[in-house]
Chains A and B, each alone.
Chain A
Amino acid sequence: MVNRIVTGAHYGLKDWLLQRLTATVMLVFTLVAVVRIAGAEPGYAGWAGVFAPDWMRAALFVFLLSVLYHAWIGVRDIYMDYIQPVGIRLTLHTLTVLALIAYAGWVIELVWSH
């Protein structure tokens, strides 16, 4: 393969935009969760009550998926900045995606299994 600098993959805007949108989702959910936790009775029952309503579970689920997608873009940015060899970068991308998919499965179990 020729050793040529190649750019022009024609993506980036959607990821950049989604990074901002997921950050907004995380911020809003965090504020809602803090307010609800502050108003809850101390102890396990109060804590569980915060996350009991279906809308709160749905919000928690969206929040956790946002965390995962936000993490994907952020970690990929770090690889692009600091990891120059393409083979190592591709391997790290793959491992990161697999880990995030596993986390997503775990998130589904945590939020919806009870």
Chain B
Amino acid sequence: MRFSVYRYNPDVDAKPYMQEYDIALDPTDKMLLDALIRLKSHDDTLAFRRSCREGVCGSDAMNINGRNGLACITTVAELGDHVTLRPIPGLPIIRDLIVDMTQFFKAYHAVKPYVINNDPAPETERLQSPEDRLELDGLYECILCACCSTSCPSFWWNPDKFLGPAALLQSYRFIADSRDQATNERLDDLEDPYKLFRCHSIMNCVDVCPKGLNPTRAIGKIKDIMIKRMV
């Protein structure tokens, strides 16, 4: 199987280049991550992140044949004979397929991704009705792999100001949480031409999300609540 892999080691290379590999895979190498580990056994200078190898940790997000995805849950069979691997676009490269996620997590932290509740803490947990809990489905499952934000042109153009689909999905996750008391402050913070309104509903985020989530719908719901508050 033929692989073209983006290579860049800033200590050694003047500029990035694509390296070609032809390797024979074992029958047990079912997933792209298996193939990458096989590749690394031939060339141990190749650098990439991986951890849980089952689509939960979000470490091995990369651009696979032009489309962001997780190597661990992408089957080799679906990729064809020639696979092109690049880092997820729009973030600074640390080395090879490893990117600097600082900007991505800054946006995540900016939306205060935790329940804000000023009532005295109860003796047990803060309860939700089953209906209120249902509101969080499709939101809490995000693994912060950054596939969505780094496939979003608005995030490419304004990564320091537009929060991006992942952070906005998380923002709505806490706006939608019946235990949270900071909805007004959250909406005030998002009422901004850059933070929220750079989203032009391009929907690349929905297209690539490896967990099948829909950030565009969450962003739409934030706008719905803002309109409800305004009119």
Name the contact of B191 in the complex, choosing from A12, A80, A81 (C-beta under 8 A): A12
Q: 8 Å CB contacts to A: which residues of B146-165?
A: 153-154, 157-158, 160-161
A75 to B83, CA, bound (A): 39
Number of interface residues of B (CB under 8 A): 21
Q: Is B198 an interface position by the 8 A CB rule?
A: yes
Q: 8 Å CB contacts to B: which residues of A1-32?
A: 5, 7-17
By DSSP majority rule, is chain A's interface helix, strand, loop, or mixed? Answer: helix
Assess whether B160 is in contact with A10, with CB atoms less than 8 Å apart.
no
Assess whether A9 is in contact with B193, with CB atoms less than 8 Å apart.
yes
Assess whether B161 is in contact with A5, with CB atoms less than 8 Å apart.
yes
Assess whether B191 is in contact with A10, with CB atoms less than 8 Å apart.
yes
A10 to B192, CA, bound (A): 5
Assess whether A16 is in contact with B192, with CB atoms less than 8 Å apart.
no
Number of interface residues of A (CB under 8 A): 16
Scan A69-91; emit 1 where CB is below 8 A from any B CB, else 0: 00000000100111000000000
Name the contact of A7 in the complex, choosing from B153, B192, B200 (C-beta under 8 A): B192
Name the contact of A77 in the complex, choosing from B200, B226, B227, B230 (C-beta under 8 A): B200
Residues of A at the B interface (CB closer than 8 Å) are: 5, 7-17, 77, 80-82
